[in-house]
Structure 1
Amino acid sequence: MHTLPLSEFRANASAMLDLVERGERVRILRHGRPVADLVPVGEASEPVARVPRWKQPIEPLYLVHPDGRTGAQLIIDERERGA
């Protein structure tokens, strides 16, 4: 695996992508800490495994005020009062 700082990657991005196309891996560092791994297509399995979780529907949030008004009704009431 090739490891290089972000500044060097920026200066040599095309050459680094050529390495990845040939099957090599490239790790990019920012301030000495790893921030990204470039791997050939098909090798990266973890992010792909997480994609379906992103597609799950998000449950709606409902705000109910102690007096029973919903969040939407609170906003409408404030607008009508000119607040």
Structure 2
Amino acid sequence: MMTEVEHGETLLIVRHGRPIAEVSPVTDQQPSWKRPALRLATKGAGLASAIIEERDCEALP
């Protein structure tokens, strides 16, 4: 059984005719949430600065 997994096959484990688990080969890839992502950058004031400025303008009488 494990030989098939070593060669890239995924095995389905069943109990009483119902699937309960899969055995699949381990990959060397990181999960998507651990991979580096693109950083978004914008020109001009950051969002925090814009919010603070807007609050300051609203607070003036």
Q: TM-score range by the shorter chain?
A: 0.3 to 0.5
Larger-Rg structure: 2
Higher helix share: 1
> TM-score scaled to structure 1, two decimals?
0.32
